[in-house]
Amino acid sequence: MRVLVTGSAGFIGHALSRRLLSERHSVTGFDAFSDYYDVGLKRARHADLAGFPSFEGVEARLETPGALLDTLARVQPEIVVHLAAQAGVRYSIENPGAYVEANIVGTANLLEAVRAHPVRHLLLASTSSAYGGGATSPFREIDRAVTPVSFYAATKLATEAMAHSYAHLFGVPTTALRFFTVYGPWGRPDMALFLFTRKILAGQPIEVFSGGTAERDFTYIDDLVEGLVRLMDCVPPKPSEGGPVGESDTLSPVAPYRLVNIGGGRPVQLGRMIDVLEEALGRSAERIPMPLPPGDVTATRASTELLQALIGTVPETPIETGIPAFVRWYRDFYPTDAASIATPAR
Ligand code: NAD
């Protein structure tokens, strides 16, 4: 199978590409190596993928006219997984333009390229943040009363709507995926687990939002990739091919479009996450309580009903297993000292 993965130098794109390549699929990875966080880490991820002969890297921006069109025309992929994006809740408050460019313009270009070169299945990344502040827990895909409270979430919700309209208008089977706080080896330096690890190892205090009571539905990277790989083969049916899979799978009665959570539905308090991290590091943290920043929500929890109905499994790795795996990778990747990491996190 030929797969185009945008965002292949990113945390999730690297893990997905690695899994596909190890199963002997061909992967074209499209990434601009944006400087939102340590570009050296992104280069290292692509260098890791370059060890597979069936990997090809394309360094280009989603927004560059013709870049995606040319890539799709040349590669003719059967599946496109669109992960490239400007991610991060807090950065979006000060830098909304970066989100309009990468997420709105970038996804519009991707949809146009797929329209010109249709694929068997288009999958694109959205986020649990799209549910926003007022959603009923657990967050269900069918809940249309979404109230995004960060600009990042607003742009991701817009990409879902754009993808839905293209699926409706042009018939490309499309699955939008709401990921829930993904973590694990090769993870993102701007996210709490990475930030805390670096600070604890450097002997610095950590800022703990909402006194550690905020809850996140942490999803281990291998579980997320398993879900993605299974969903790739789970193409949304056209109306003529049959009805919805489950109660939640009724967002679009006409388009071959589907919206699916990937999360385990078992949220963990931030304070508990830090306890497990301290144990894995063998060091305790100096915790500074801070209020929840604007744009963040107090709790996330995925409804797993639709994911279970579609692929027969849901993320299950507990943080007691996943966090030590992250710490092992971190110690291996940054052997000298956490303080030597040059790029400031945002
Ligand atoms: P990441 O930042 O590690 O990866 C994104 C990649 O996209 C980066 O390598 C970056 O260089 C690339 N990129 C950014 N802007 C680009 C542009 N304009 N053109 C080309 N490439 C560009 O993020 P990630 O954690 O791997 O997330 C992947 C996707 O999943 C994103 O769409 C993100 O919004 C979504 N998501 C992630 C999480 C999570 O917990 N990691 C949660 C919810 C949703």
Q: Angle at CA 285, nearest 5°, toward 284 and 289?
A: 145
Residue with tokens 């699955």: 175
Candidate of 5, 6, 12, 319 to mutate for ligand 1, largest count of ligand atoms within 8 Å of Cβ: 12
Give exposure, 243-254, as e/b (b: 16+ Cβ within 10 Å): ebbeebbebbee
Complex ipTM: 1.00
Q: Model confidence over 227-236: pLDDT tens digits?
A: 999 999 999 9
**Residue 339 binned pLDDT confidence (cut-offs 50, 70, 90):** very low
The pLDDT value given to residue 243: 61
The pLDDT value given to residue 161: 95
* Fold of the domain built from segment(s) 2-180+219-262: Rossmann fold (3.40.50)
pTM above 0.90, yes or no: yes
Residue 249 has pLDDT above 80, yes or no: no
**Residue 343 binned pLDDT confidence (cut-offs 50, 70, 90):** very low
CATH code given to domain 183-216+266-301+317-340: 3.90.25.10
Region 55-63 average pLDDT? 98
Q: How far apart are CA 103 and CA 98, in angstroms?
A: 8
33 CB less than 6 Å from ligand 1?
A: yes
Q: Model confidence over 199-210: pLDDT tens digits?
A: 999 999 999 999
Q: Model confidence over 89-141: pLDDT tens digits?
A: 999 999 999 999 999 999 999 999 999 999 999 999 999 999 998 789 999 99
Residue 337 has pLDDT above 60, yes or no: no
**Residue 341 binned pLDDT confidence (cut-offs 50, 70, 90):** very low
258 CB less than 6 Å from ligand 1?
A: no
Domains 2-180+219-262 and 183-216+266-301+317-340 agree in fold: no
Q: How far apart are CA 29 and CA 66, in angstroms?
A: 16
The CA 241 to ligand 1 mean position distance, Å, reads 33
The pLDDT value given to residue 342: 42
Q: Which is it for the CA torsion 311, 315, 321, 326, positive or negative?
A: positive
Listed by start position, the domains of the chain span 2-180+219-262, 183-216+266-301+317-340
The pLDDT value given to residue 344: 42
221 CB less than 6 Å from ligand 1?
A: no
Q: Distance between terminal CA atoms of the chain?
A: 37
152 is catalytic: yes
Catalytic residue among 36, 152, 166, 220: 152
Phi, psi values for residue 131, rounded to 5° = -70, -30
